[in-house]
Amino acid sequence: MSANRKKIADLLDGLRRYHFEFRHLTILFIVLIVFQLAVSFVHRNSVQRFLTETQSWYQQDSAERLANLTTTSLELLLESRTHRGQLDDAEAQKVIQGFNIIFSQQLLHQNVQEVCLLVEKDGVPIAIDDGGTLYAFLYAPARVISSSTTSHARALEMYVGLREEMRSNEQIHTIVEGTETFHTFVPFVPRGEYLGSLYMKNTPNFAFITRDLITSYGQTTATYLALIFFGLIATYYISSYTLRERNEAQAMLFEQQKKHLSEEIKYQHELLFTKRIYHTHHKAEKIMGFIKEDLRNLTPGNTEEVRQRVTKYSNFIARVIYDMKWYDPPVQTIRGTLFRTSLNDVLRFLVDNVFLRVSRNGGDCSYDFALDDKLPPVPVNEFVVWEAFEPIIQNSVEHAGVPHVRVSIATHFDAAKARSIVTIADNGRGIAPHFLERNEGGLQRIFEEQTSTKSAGGEHTGYGCYIAHEIATQRCGWTLDAENLVGGGCRFIFTIPCQS
């Protein structure tokens, strides 16, 4: 129970922290209007479809009822004359007048366009639409009957196709033409004997009912939408004042935060830059010690060798000093077509003239080379390459954690993929697995800033691999990855694309 209350409280706190703005009210306003329009449109179509289907059913039903009533009237008139003999003239005139009244009375309806009786004379369908002809057909079969075939040709045509079915089942048949014209055929069965069919063409129109209902519904919908619209406009207008004041306060707070954040970022850059200079300062001190040692040991026999070595040392010191002037040095000082640096030469010089000269590593560290002579030169400043390789070799020497460290350096040119591969491996304890995991940006954690593989990191540790990775990837355009070896130790892999 307490857990549920806590969840509800957290949800309410989250809602309180969320601030509505003008765009939120605008979106809410538009969504409500669109939804109401959609609901109104769907409802209107549903009502219109229902009214149309109801109207169609009622039109057919009313047409059939009227035709059936007319047929019943004719049959009842004939039932009142039970004898089949010849009637006298007065009675015959009454019967004929009754027939004419029934035929003409139906045509008085606004929607009835055609009425006739379809019978067969000597096997030929004929149409009768007056009382005299019908009387002659019923009471004087020998007389010649004039059929209204021309005016009822369409009715006779449809009746020919229906007469067998009507004769067999004696049911009402309706043929719908278009949406409003109904051709109704009602079996004519006086005294229980099938003689033909009464035909009625009826066009009942109840569209005005549907139109009025739809118009009324549209007016109601428009009124409802207008009320919602003006209500939302009022809400929007009233809320604008509150939101405007809040937005002004937020803008002021944002400017203050922006200023503070800019100062914090500038401070962090300066702090990190200072730490990087401090980290590089130790390398410069070591190289300066080598220069002093070479000058002390200078003899006429080794002048040229010392001159070349000291020149490289001095150029490296100059590069270190140059890097101290720039947080992000110009790209033309890092790589370009003027540079033709041999990676093999840089690696050999680093090992022979830097790492092997460090006295504390002289007896407990060895280096193995497997260099590919086909390795093409790279268009990168020689001392930038030095800054990329030196921290990785130093990492293998310092963090191996074994009595005797063996560093293996290999290069390989892959002509098929147009790339060079440089690997630096050691026989140490390897890298802790969590350092090989990748962060959200895909970077292995060993190359993150201030990440150290030392068991007890100092204040200025955790920059060697970071600097090497930054120089290799950001300045040289290479890739650098790390992995553990199966037999122990780890390996750093530089992948260098060849440039034509």
pLDDT digits (tens, 9 = 90+) for 366-391: 899 999 999 999 999 888 898 889 88
Domain of 154: which CATH number? 3.30.450
Q: In what order do the strands lie in the sheet with 196-202?
A: 124-128, 112-121, 196-202, 181-188, 173-177
Amino acid, res. 54 = T
Are the C-beta atoms of 404 and 363 separated by less than 8 Å? no
> What Rg do the C-alpha atoms of the chain give, in angstroms?
53
> How many helices (H) and strands (E) would you count in the chain?
11, 10
CA distance 115 to 156: 12
- Whether residue 276 lies inside any domain: the answer is no
Domain count, the chain: 2
Answer with the one of 159, 181, 205 that is the final residue of a domain: 205
Residue matched to tokens 């939120």: 24
Q: Kindly report the average pLDDT of the chain as a whole number.
A: 79
Task: Say what angle helices 131-139 and 89-107 make with each other, to 10 degrees.
Answer: 130
Other C-beta atoms closer than 10 Å to the C-beta of 125 total 19
Residue 93 corresponds to which tokens in the numbers above?
């005139």
Q: Specify the pLDDT at position 457.
A: 46
Q: Specify the pLDDT at position 356.
A: 85
Strand partners, 425: 408, 491
- Whether residue 243 lies inside any domain: the answer is no
Q: Specify the pLDDT at position 495.
A: 95
Are the C-beta atoms of 306 and 297 separated by less than 8 Å? yes
DSSP class of residue 440 equals T
Residue 359 has pLDDT above 50, yes or no: no
Residue matched to tokens 């009842």: 76
Answer with the one of 205, 240, 264 that is the final residue of a domain: 205
Q: Specify the pLDDT at position 410.
A: 95
Domain of 344: which CATH number? 3.30.565.10
Are the C-beta atoms of 133 and 145 separated by less than 8 Å? yes
Q: 3-state class of 492 per DSSP?
A: strand
Are the C-beta atoms of 185 and 173 separated by less than 8 Å? yes
- Whether residue 290 lies inside any domain: the answer is no
CA distance 481 to 129: 103
* Rounded (5°) CA angle 95-121-197: 65
Strand partners, 498: none
Rounded to the nearest angstrom, the gap between the alpha carbon of residue 251 and the centroid of all alpha carbons in its chain is: 33
Are the C-beta atoms of 370 and 324 separated by less than 8 Å? no
Q: In what order do the strands lie in the sheet with 365-370?
A: 365-370, 405-414, 419-426, 490-497, 479-484
Of 41-45, 67-71, 141-145, 434-438, minimum mean pLDDT range: 141-145
- Whether residue 150 lies inside any domain: the answer is yes
Answer with the one of 205, 237, 265 that is the final residue of a domain: 205
Whether this prediction's pTM lies above 0.75 is answered by no
The mean pLDDT of 396-421, rounded to a whole number, is 90
Residue 66 has pLDDT above 60, yes or no: yes
- Whether residue 222 lies inside any domain: the answer is no
Phi, psi at 201, each rounded to 5°? -100, 115
200, 344: one domain: no
Q: Which residue spans within 83-189 are E strands per DSSP?
A: 112-121, 124-128, 173-177, 181-188
For residue range 79-124, what is the model confidence (pLDDT) as tens digits? 776 455 566 777 778 878 887 887 777 777 777 888 888 888 877 8
Q: Specify the pLDDT at position 142.
A: 60
- Mention every residue, 6+ apart, whose C-beta is less than 8 A from residue 450: 461, 462, 463, 466
Residue matched to tokens 């005299």: 132
The mean pLDDT of 454-474, rounded to a whole number, is 69
pLDDT bin (cut points 50, 70, 90) of residue 407 is: very high
Of 82-96, 128-142, 408-422, minimum mean pLDDT range: 82-96
User: What are the C-alpha distances in Å from 255 to residues 104, 261, 359?
Assistant: 92, 10, 56
Q: Specify the pLDDT at position 459.
A: 46
What residues make up the domain containing 351? 333-497
Are the C-beta atoms of 93 and 100 separated by less than 8 Å? no
- Whether residue 14 lies inside any domain: the answer is no
- Whether residue 442 lies inside any domain: the answer is yes
For residue range 279-292, what is the model confidence (pLDDT) as tens digits? 666 677 788 888 88
Strand partners, 125: 120
Q: 3-state class of 33 per DSSP?
A: helix
